[in-house]
Each structure stands twice: as C-alpha cells, then as structure tokens.
Amino acid sequence: MKSRLKNFNGKISLSVDVMGTYNFVRISLHFIDETWSLKKWVIKSCPLDDTSPWDVIIESAEDWGIKNKISSVTLSSFYEYDTFEYIKDHLHGKKKLSLNGQLFGVYCCGEFMSQTVQYAFGKIQDTIGKARLLYNPKGEPLWYLTSFHLNQTMELRSMGEYSSKDVMDNYDSSSSSGKAKEEGSFTVLQEIVSQAQNWHLKTELEQYLEEPLLPWSEDLCVLKWWKISSSQYPTLSMMVRDFLAVPISLATSYKAFYTEPRPVVEHLITTL
C-alpha cells in the first residue's frame, strides 16, 4: 500500500475523526486512482492519551510518505482554523499549494448542518409546544390534502391540458423541398468548418464549458464520465480527480444529525 501511494500521480485528502467515547482518533486518506475509482483507506487508529490529533496527522503523513501529496484536511468544526495552519506548516512549510491553500482546511459540513438544525429547533421549540396544545388528535383528517389525491388531481389536470393540440391547416410552402435541403446542407457544412477552425484555439476549460448538460438519471456517475472523457481533457481531468476526492463530511448522511460524539467500534479498541 505504501509503494502504491508513493507511485501515485495525484493529490491525497485526509479526514480526521475524533470519536468521543474513548477519546479516539481515526485518520483516513481519500483519493481517486488511475481507474477513476474512489478510495478510502484508514491509515491510523489510536487513542489520544497525551497526543494531539494534529501531531498524529503529521506522524501518519510522514510514516506513509505522503507529506508532499496532501491537498486538504477535513476536520471537525470544534477545532480552530489555526489547527489547519499548524498542520500545513509542518507538512508543506512554505511550499505553495493549489489555490494558495484555500482548499486545504475543510470543516465537516455534517456537523454544520447538525448545529444549524439544533439552533433552529431551539428557536421554535416554544412555538411547537403551544401548537401541540391546540391540536386535537381526534379531529377529522383532511383527506383531500393527502399526496395520493393530489397526485390524481395533477394527472387529471395534465391530461386535460395536453389532450388537444393546435392543428396547422396551412401546408403551402413558397419554396421547393429540394432548395430547402440544399440550404440546410450548406448551413451544416458552414457550422462544421467554423467549429474546425475554432477548435484548436480553445482551451480545455472552454471546450468543457461548451459541453451540453447531461440529463440527470439514477445511473449517472460523474467518475465514469470523467474516466471516458479524460483523454479529451487530460489536464482538466487531473485537477478534477484531486478535487472530487476531497471529503466534505466525516459522517454518513444517516449519522450526520447525531448530536452526541460518535462511538468507537469495539473491535478497534480490542485490537490495540
């Protein structure tokens, strides 16, 4: 694994999760490999006895030989921003980072969302309590507002709206079909020549921004699209590969709203 990271041609992101049950820290690295597969490896799990989390980060980066490949560190919002500066100084020194290091420090968005929800509920808690006193649980339910009946209403309305179509009665044309085909072919040829002349003058970014939007579907995979398009956008795809590997949350969506510190998995403790 260490040799694979040593030969890896790209940037690596770290996430630091401090679990409060046993004051335990877990260091994970995130990267997208050459096959455009997202990887997450846990490289360090240890208790925090007399050691700070950032010292564990620096020690782990040196041990795995990835000091010069770390592009970002995701931490809990509990830590001050000076923590990121401390880690950056010990890992990179005065070496210039991408975007001047603006993406080096990432706070867990799951914790931000949890704190926002808790704050909002705290503000409306009294109002919710008063509304609960006015609610009669034995009251007649408003069946006409259920989603089932709303769906039926929308279907009937759409059928009525689109059942009739405007019919065009005038089929006369002032030009012959042959002339129209010639003009259409000439227009297409002009567009092809124009694109061929401008193609080599555009940068990868300009070409990418002119790509049509992909229609959303459940099978849509961004990594798969970039894997196919990496030969067309070699420089841009390298940048995207490093950026998409940056984790924005320490918790899964299911656990993002937990208000208590996340517990440590028991088998991790028993193996130490």
Torsional sign, CA 141, 143, 144, 147: positive
pLDDT in tens, 162-181: 444 554 555 455 555 555 55
Q: Kindly report, residue by residue over 3-56, the tens digit of the pLDDT.
A: 888 888 889 999 988 876 557 888 999 999 999 999 999 998 888 777 788 888
Residue 235 tokens read as 């420089």
User: Mean pLDDT throughout 218-224?
Assistant: 90
Q: Residue ranges of the domains in the chain?
A: 2-111+242-270
CATH code of the region 2-111+242-270? 3.30.420.40
Checking if the pLDDT of 133 tops 90, the result is no
pLDDT at 63 over 80: yes
Convert the pLDDT of each residue in 178-212 to its tens digit: 555 556 666 766 776 666 655 556 788 888 999 99
Predicted local confidence at residue 240, as pLDDT: 92
62, pLDDT greater than 70: yes
* Alpha carbon distance 210, 205 (integer Å): 9
- Candidates 4, 5, 10; CA nearest to 230 is 10
Q: Residue 83 belongs to what H/E stretch?
A: helix 82-92
First-to-last CA distance in the chain? 21
According to the model, what pLDDT value does residue 162 have?
Answer: 46
What global pTM score does this model have?
A: 0.65
Q: What is the pLDDT of residues 231-256, one digit of tens each?
A: 999 999 999 999 999 998 886 544 54
Task: Identify which of 47-56, 85-94, 209-218 has the greatest average pLDDT.
Answer: 209-218
